[in-house]
Amino acid sequence: MAETTRFVVLCVAEREAACTEVLSKLPFRFRLVVRPRDLMRSCLEGDVAAALVDSVSALRVGIHEMAAIYDMGINLPVLRVSGWESGEPMAMCNAPFKKLPILEALTQIAQADPGWNHPIYRRKNLRVPMPSRVLIERNGTVQQAYCSNASIKGVYLICWDAPGMDEMVKLTFLDLPFPMSCNAVVRRQVPWHLPQGIPGCGLSYIDTQMPDQYRHWIVDIHFQRQTGSGSAEISTDIPEPSSVLPS
């Protein structure tokens, strides 16, 4: 597991040499980014197991930018790392509060140690409103539904005659700025006759990899909501971060 686990690291250009020297000796994969927004994108798109922030770089980018990183609203560790020049940096997480040598901390996270679960947030993935008509193909028939909200891993659909629990269906989204169909399985069902909840069903995507456009779109909606601007547009200025692989 360690060899395939990937982490994202916020590191301004002048700090790259010190960080890379240590990271290249660790048995994980790393993505180095210089902008807080790019670190958040990696985290919210479900691309990494945790975020690392070089302490000096955090001071350079400023308190306002860092506040959003430390409170992304998802169950993902954010570690502030110092002491790179010593060759044995320490990693400190505020939620939950833990401080360990970097190798020990990342090894525990790669092994899904529950001790790194956020004390408040339980969701692994960001959920955003994503209005769209959706077609549900099931048992040779096509049913109409409406998307209430979605994440990179699943969606909640409003419909009157929801598919049954654990039923596998094909979804086609009609109103996204790109074509998308995927397979999903029903994980939650809210019948019409119940007084609580919106009638419909919650589904988990079962396709092994959702399209990059879709993952970008989910995060773009989040960024647009943060700034209070209009409808989201798919980002085209997503830089390719540098990578550090174990030696």
- Asked whether the predicted pLDDT for residue 21 surpasses 90, the reply is yes
Rounded CA separation 198/190 (Å) = 7
This prediction has a pTM of 0.85
**Summary mean pLDDT of the chain:** 89
Taking Cα atoms as reference points, which of 172, 133, 171, 150 lies closest to residue 221? 150
Confidence band of 237 (pLDDT split at 50, 70, 90):
low
- Asked whether the predicted pLDDT for residue 241 surpasses 90, the reply is no
Contacts of 124 (CB under 8 A, 6+ apart): 46, 74, 75, 76, 153
- Asked whether the predicted pLDDT for residue 240 surpasses 70, the reply is no
Domains of the chain and any CATH numbers: 6-123 (3.40.50), 128-205 (2.40.10.220)
Q: Give residue-wise pLDDT tens across range 171-208.
A: 999 999 999 999 999 999 988 877 777 899 999 999 77
Which pLDDT value is given to residue 1? 42
The arithmetic mean of pLDDT across residues 13-35, rounded, is 94
Rounded CA separation 40/59 (Å) = 17
The arithmetic mean of pLDDT across residues 216-240, rounded, is 72
